[in-house]
Structures are given as structure tokens and as C-alpha cells.
Structure 1
Amino acid sequence: MKSNWNYPTTMWVGKNRIKDLSIACKTLNINKPLLVTDSGLAKSKIVINVLANLKEGGISTELYSDVVGNPTGTNVTEGADYYNKNDCDGVIAFGGGSGLDVGKAIAFMSGQTLPIWDFEDVDDNWTKANSDKIAPIIAVPTTAGTGSETGRASVILNEETGVKNIIFHPKFLPSIVILDPVLTLSLPAKITAATGMDALAHNLEAYCAPGYHPMADGIALEGMRLINEWLLEAVNNGSNIEARQNMLTAASMGSTAFQKGLGAIHSLSHPVNALNNIHHGLSNAIFMPYVLTFNKDAIEKKIIKICDYLELKDRSFDGFVNWVLDLRKKLDMPHRLSEVIDEKNFDIDRLSKMALADPSTGGNPKKLTENDMRTMYQHSMSGELFK
């Protein structure tokens, strides 16, 4: 199966579409791209083959691979300097969420004079940017989770404050995305599981966010259906190309849908990721049932609609929560945050303040206070769901 989609951007979908990367560069008039990825991928056969194919296609490529798991402002600054020093004219953002986020941010910052933090997703900060100086972006995800390839923002850690900031501009959206399931075949089962739960969190929170956006709602519902059908198969049988393709698609759908908004799952996750270096998909999976049960009175009708669409046996709010709990159990994921974070390193006061200030908080179905964040953190540490 091979397809070309044009929503929300141009997307080339199917097995071995990575071989069309040089064509993508030429389509966007990119002659000397900077390929941005992490150090592990940079040494892999995947990237070595990609660079060889680009060279064969007449594309001279530079490589920046100092991206860390929770990408930092330093990654972006160094990458933008490298981009300009080598006279690059476009970015290939390659890898998981970190590689994609840093790649997009480098393409953005390569032509800006203000610090990256001036473009945090607050009010109309994005209008401060020089839009004409943003380099064209091609995104190639190698995990099925963040959906950053269809997003208009990057999540970057400010090392000075310890806060993950969301940097936004409409032109962060890549011009061409390549969804090739072959690139995800070597993903370990645990990473496949965690990134899959990240995709579920995106679709779920987007659907539950308040506001009128039927297009986002429809995309989120179908994204969750694909995850329900294919995530366990992708984890248990990683060589299944169909499962890998559907999970890549569901991840892109989640990011497309959350233009509508996210919520407390992400508000609670971002500070934990920044201060405790916990994988974002894993923390989203842990927080999911606690946030669901906290929000119950505001989302119960929507959750039942999800149950109907997924054709769950128990089409009730509790039935959906049990489905989430059962899915996590089958994926061998922890129920309590205390299973992955030592309580001695758990600064609940600081985390609660950071969670409330997170941009995702505004999309939560219920208005939140700092005490609400504290309570949800406490429940996630003890393992007790809200009743």
C-alpha cells in the first residue's frame, strides 16, 4: 500500500517511501539539507542508508546528531549555528519526538535573532518571528507516538529554568512528511508500547477537550480505533508492517487532532519529564486513568461515545477506564508513578506549580488549580483512582 495525503500537510505514506527522500528535497528546492537526529540513530544502518540514498539522488547532506532524549535549548542553538555555518537550505527532521522537535526548531531558529524562549506558545508570541527566514522542513518519524511530524510546535527544555517550553509557529508544520513503517521495525517492544500510549493520550485528550472542532473529534476517534486494533499487535509482533503503518498513522492523527487542545495528562507529564527524565509516553500512560477519573463528571458522555466507536464490551465510563488499565497491564506498564520515581526525588510543590502553568492545562475539560495538580500527583504516586 502506498498513498499520498494532503492533510494537514503533504504526507507520503507506505513501505519503503524513505527511498523518495531525495525527491522530497528536490520538490522543496532543498539542495543541501541538514539531517537532524539523535546520536544512536546517526550510527544506525537506517541513517547510513538514508545518507547514501540522498547522495545517490544528488543531495549533499550535513548531519547534526547531538539531540538528547528530552531536547534542550542548547541542542537547538548548536544545531542552528551548524546549519548556518554549513550554508544549509532545509532540514530533514529524522527520528522520534526529540529528533523531530529539534529539527523543526533548528529550521525555525536558523533565521531568527530573538532567543527561542521569546517564541513560547503564549498569546501571540509567534508573530515576533521573521516568517520569511524559516527553512523548509521534511519530517521522517521513526517512532509512532509524538506525532510531531504533523505538529506546529516543538517541546524544548530550558536548562536554566528546568521547564519544558512549547515553542509555536504555524511554519513549524513540515512541508512533506514521510510515513514509512519499515523505519519502525527495529523499535523495541517497550518503546513501541510507550510511544503507542503517547499517541493514545493525544487522541484521547484532543477528543475530550472542550470547544467545537468536529474535524479534530473525528480524527481523534479514528486514531483511537486504530490504536485499539493495532498497538498490541505492533508490540507483540514488531515485524507486522500493517500494524506498524497503522500505528504511525494513528500517531500523526493524534497530533493533528490536538490542535483542538490537550489536558492534564500532558500538564502532569511535562514537569516529570523535565525534572526526572521519564519517557513522555510512559508518564502519559501512568497519568491517564487518574486524569480520566478526576475529569469524570465533565467527560463521561464523551467517553461513552468513544466506547461505542471502539465497540468495547462494557460501553460505560468505568468500562473505558478498565480498558485503559487492561491495555497498560498487557503492555507491562506501571500503574503508579512511584514505580518509576523515587519519592525522595519527587518535589510535589514544584511539580504542581509547573503543571498548572503548562500550556496544556487550558485544554483540560475541568478548570484546574494547583491543589488539583497536587491531588492528581498524590493519587498517581499511591495508585488510588478517583471515585
Structure 2
Amino acid sequence: MELNQFTANWNYPTAIRAGIGRIQDLPATCQELGMTSPLLITDPGLADLPMVQAALASCKQAGLRCNIFSQIKGNPTGENVTDGVSAYWRGEHDGVIAFGGGSALDAAKAVALMVGQELPIWDFEDVGDNWLNVRTEGMAPVVAVPTTSGTGSEVGRASVITDHENHIKRIIFHPNMLPAIVILDPQLSVGLPAKLTAATGMDALSHALEAYCANYYHPMAEGIALESIRLIKEYLPRAVKDGNDLEARAQMMTASTMGSTAFQRGLGGMHALAHPIGALYDSHHGLLNAILMPYVLKANRSAIEAKLTRLSSYLELEDAGFDSFLNWVLTLRQQLDIPHALSAIGIDAERVTEIGAMAEQDPSAGGNPIAFDAQQYAAIFQSAVYGEL
């Protein structure tokens, strides 16, 4: 495929400007949304890199007054959001550029929400009708610029924020948290190391796969998830093997956005477990999903066997069936150097009961094909700790 064929403007689920070099559209995109002084929120590891400095310079050359905020943890906390809100008001900003990986995007969307609120952030947790408490007129407009292909936060209507005091991840939600415009430029992901390319790519797979298997009726999301998984199968190994493969980077960035679009249908047990584990152990979310994946699939087998048979056929695996798909996942993980057990990344079973209880209560559990109780989640977690598939 010619690389210029990746250039496109889409309007689903929001306005998306896709293509190699589209980062040059950033100043005009900010101006389109009425920004004169955007706050660029990014990961601390990106703040001084050329791509961020170039974006900052282009905004300033276009007459925009732009500053950077980057005090964000790998699992962003409520305190990070509060600090971002302070930076927003201190700099007299009027919009947000969310630039980076999932952590930066989630934090930035939460900052854009909170600059217009009087209630504390936890009052907007995705529980019941909490989102109705949001003062939408005070929210800041957001341009999202992802630099990884995993979370898909650029097309999400929520942010996952860690409540550090209570050691739990909370989903902060409002429909207007969906960024107004997204710039998908695969060149921005070229410098991502192989290990992070693999972990974030497997995160994208977990989104699409759980959306495909979720127990809610949403055929459109199911179709998007199906194609996202196919793209990941074809292009994730290529992106990990050669980070300069722009076609693979472009297809993975698209697949990631598709996975997040699809999980409007729901997620499931991988995320229900990854959220509490990440909150308690401060571990990389995508890597957790990658390790947990086969254990949750096996636990869900009775409810998803027919779906995975169809999926394995679509993916043109050698045999159509649950075992064939599970073996493909295991082979892919091995190819990408993903550990087989949680113990390999320093997670033990000491808090197994606590994690099982937290997983049962996690909002993502609602989409799992089987309604596992705390004891069942604890058993899945323990199997993943010791690598007992």
C-alpha cells in the first residue's frame, strides 16, 4: 500500500485527521477550536523530545501562546490532574493539547474536564448518573495527539485515574470528554521502543478482543473490533520487528483507535483484573492485559467458543476454533517477548483475595461474558501469577 493512501479525514467517532506528517496541522486545528493559548499536556519522558518541542514551536510560530505540563505518572493520579488544572489556570489557557501515550491522554482529558468543575474529580466516577453532575459549559476543548498505538484514549469518553489514597483506579466519564479533534500521525510512534510497541499493541488487542466478546448488543462495535484484531495480527509483529516500518505503524495506530471505538460495547475480565493490579502494583496497563489475556480467555471459554471460532476463521488461522485462537495468542506473545506469568514482572499472590474482590466490583467486569465472582477472579489472578494456564 502506498503510504499516501493513509491520509484521510474521518468523522467517526469524532473528527480524525489521519496521515503521515499530519502533526503539521496542529496549530490550525487548535485555532479551528477557538484556542489562542493551549496547554500541551504530555508524558514526562516526551516533554524534552524533538517531536514535542517541534509541536510547541509550530504553535508559537502560528501565534498561539503555548506551555507544557508533564507532571504525570505512568498510572495518572488525582493529584496529577489537580496539578494540571492549576497549571491551566496559572497560564490562563483556553484549551488542551493531549500529546503522548495513554497516561498523558487520560490525564489531559481529565484536566480539560476539571477546569470547569467545582465538585471533586471522584464525584464524576462512572457510576450511575454521576456524569450528569458535570458543568459542561466549563470544560476545555481538546485536541488529542497519540504517540503510541494501544490505549485508544484519543477516541475515549473517559479517563482512568488512580485514587492514590484508596489504591484503586477509577473511571472518570462524560460524553464530552471525547476529544473534539484527533491527529493520527504514525511518524510520532516511530521512536517507541520495541518492548513498549509490543505492550501497547497487546493493549489494543485486549480492547478489540474484549469488545468482540462482550455480552452487550452492539453489532457495529463488534464489526469494528473484528477488523481491528485482523490489523493487529498482520501489523503488530512488523511494528515490533522494525520500528521504522511506517505502514505497520500507520495500521497499528488505526487499529488502536478502532479498538477503543469498539469498546463502547464493553470490556471484560482482563481489564477488571488489570485495573486493581495496576493500582496496587503500579504496573504498565498494556503489559498486564497482555499477560492476563490467555487466562481470562480460558476462563470464559464456555461463553465465547462460538465467537472465537468465527474470529479464528476471519483471521485465516490454520484451524477454526477456540484452541487455534488461544494458540495464536500464546504464539504472538512469545514472538513479542511478553512474559507468560505475572510473577515475571514482580507481582505475587499475596493480595489475591483483595484483587479478586476489586475485580468483581470493577466497572469493566459488567461486560465480561461470564459474571465471575470475587473468588473466581482471584483464581484467574493466581493462575496468571504462577503461569498455570
TM-score range, shorter chain: over 0.9
| Residues 281-300 of structure 1: pairs in structure 2 closer than 5 A | 281-300=286-305
Give me the TM-score of the superposition, normalised by structure 1: 0.98
Amino acid at match of 2:14: T
SS at match of 1:343: coil
Structure 2: gaps of 5 or more residues: none
Amino acid at match of 2:155: T
The answer as to 2:207 corresponding to 1:202 is yes
SS at match of 1:238: coil
The separation in 1 between residues aligned to 2:245 and 2:43, in whole angstroms, is 25
The answer as to 2:362 corresponding to 1:362 is no
Amino acid at match of 1:294: A
The separation in 2 between residues aligned to 1:18 and 1:36, in whole angstroms, is 15
The answer as to 2:332 corresponding to 1:323 is no
Amino acid at match of 1:233: R
Structure 1 match to 2:230: 225
The separation in 2 between residues aligned to 1:120 and 1:339, in whole angstroms, is 32
2:313 and 2:319 in contact (8 A); partners too: no
| Residues 59-78 of structure 1: pairs in structure 2 closer than 5 A | 59-78=64-83
SS at match of 2:39: strand
SS at match of 2:71: strand
Structure 2 match to 1:10: 15
| Residues 1-387 of structure 1: pairs in structure 2 closer than 5 A | 1=4, 2-343=7-348, 346-385=350-389
The separation in 2 between residues aligned to 1:43 and 1:82, in whole angstroms, is 18
- Runs of 4 or more, structure 1, over 4 Å off, are none
The separation in 2 between residues aligned to 1:316 and 1:368, in whole angstroms, is 23
The separation in 2 between residues aligned to 1:330 and 1:57, in whole angstroms, is 45
The separation in 1 between residues aligned to 2:113 and 2:80, in whole angstroms, is 13
Structure 1: gaps of 5 or more residues: none
The separation in 2 between residues aligned to 1:355 and 1:197, in whole angstroms, is 20
CA drift at 1:379: 1.1
Amino acid at match of 2:306: K
- Two-structure CA RMSD over aligned residues (Å): 0.9
The separation in 2 between residues aligned to 1:231 and 1:32, in whole angstroms, is 37
CA drift at 1:343: 2.6
The separation in 1 between residues aligned to 2:254 and 2:63, in whole angstroms, is 30
CA drift at 1:342: 4.4
SS at match of 1:66: coil
Amino acid at match of 2:299: F
Give me the TM-score of the superposition, normalised by structure 2: 0.97
Count of matched residue pairs = 384
The separation in 1 between residues aligned to 2:292 and 2:35, in whole angstroms, is 41
Q: What's the % identity of the aligned pairs?
A: 55
The separation in 1 between residues aligned to 2:336 and 2:109, in whole angstroms, is 31
CA deviation vs aligned residue, 1:171-225 (integer Å, no higher than 9, x gap): 1100000000010000000000000000000000000001211110010000001
The separation in 2 between residues aligned to 1:354 and 1:279, in whole angstroms, is 18
CA deviation vs aligned residue, 1:106-130 (integer Å, no higher than 9, x gap): 0000010000000000011000010
CA deviation vs aligned residue, 1:135-168 (integer Å, no higher than 9, x gap): 1000000000000000000000011101000000
SS at match of 2:46: helix
The separation in 2 between residues aligned to 1:151 and 1:263, in whole angstroms, is 16
